[in-house]
Amino acid sequence: MKRLLLVSNSLPVHIKWQDDKYLIKKSDEQTISGLQDFYSAYKPEWIGLTDFENHEFTPKDISRLEASLKPFLCVPVFPRARDRNLHLHGFSRNTLWPLFHYFTENVTYSEVSWKAYLKINRLYAEKILEIIKEGDILWIHDYHLLLLPQMIREQRPDISIGLFSHVPFPSFEIFRLLPWRQEIVEGMLGADLIGFQTYDYVRHFMSSVRRLMGVDSVFNRISIGERTLKVDVFPKGINYERFRNKALEIHSNHPRPSVIQEEMKLFRESGNLEKLIISIDKLDYTKGIPQRIRAFERFLQTYPEYQGRVSMIVQAIPSGETSESFFNLKSQVDELVGRINGNYGTIQWTPVRYLNQTFSMDERIELYSLSDIALILPLRDGMNLVSKEFVASRHDGTGVLILSELAGASKELHEALLVNPNDLDAIAEAIREAIEMPEEEQIRRNRVMMMRLHRYTVGRWANEFIRGLESVKEIQEYTLTRKINITSMRKLVTSYRDSKKRILFLDYDGTLAWFKKNPEDAKPDKNLYEILERLSADANNTIVIISGRDKETLSEWFDAKWNIHFVAEHGVWFREPGNNWHMMEQINNEWKESVEPLLEYYVDRTPKSFIEYKNFSLVWHYRKSDPDLGLQRAWELKDELRTLTSNLNLEIMDGDKVLEIKYSGINKGRAATHKLGDSSYEFILAVGDDWTDEFTFEAMPEGAYTIKVGAKTTKASYYIESVDLVREMLCRFTKDKCK
Kind and range of the H or E run holding 548: none
Residue 222: Cβ-neighbour burial (10 angstroms; 0-12, 13-18, 19+): buried
The residues, any chain, with a CB within 8 Å of residue 434's CB and separated by 6 or more, are 372, 373, 400, 402, 417
Q: Please, are residues 701 and 602 in contact by the beta-carbon 8 Å criterion?
A: no
Contact 174, 102 (CB under 8 A): yes
Work out whether strand 227-233 and strand 193-196 pair parallel, antiparallel, or are unpaired: parallel
Phi–psi pair at 638, nearest 5 degrees: -60, -45
Based on the residue annotation, tell me whether 507 is a catalytic residue of this protein. Answer: yes
CA distances to 131, 162, 254 from 146, rounded to whole Å, are 20, 11, 49
For residue 29, the Cα-to-chain-centroid distance in whole angstroms is 25
What is the number of alpha carbons within 13 Å of residue 544 lying toward its C-beta? 27
Backbone angles phi, psi at 613, to 5 degrees: -100, 115
Distance (Å, whole) CA 703 – CA 719 = 16
Q: How do beta strands 4-10 and 137-141 pair?
A: parallel
**195, β-bridge pairs:** 164, 232
Of 284, 381, 507, 693, the active-site residue reads 507
Cβ–Cβ under 8 Å, residues 377 and 420: no
3-state secondary structure 234-284: CCCCCCHHHHHHHHHHHCCCCCCCCHHHHHHHHHHHHHCCCEEEEEEEECC
Q: What secondary structure, in 3-state letters, does 397-446 show?
A: CCCEEEEECCEHHHHCCCCCEEECCCCHHHHHHHHHHHHHCCHHHHHHHH
Task: Decide: helix, strand or coil at residue 305.
Answer: helix
**DSSP per position, 12-74:** SEEEEEETTEEEEEE-HHHHTSS-HHHHHHH--EEEEE-S-TT-PPPHHHHHHHHHHHGGGTE
DSSP category for residue 86: I
Are 124 and 89 spatial neighbours (Cβ–Cβ below 8 Å)? no
Q: Say which amino acid occupies 215.
A: V
User: What is d(CA 673, CA 656) in angstroms, rounded to the nearest whole number?
Assistant: 24
Question: Annotated active-site positions, please?
Answer: 507
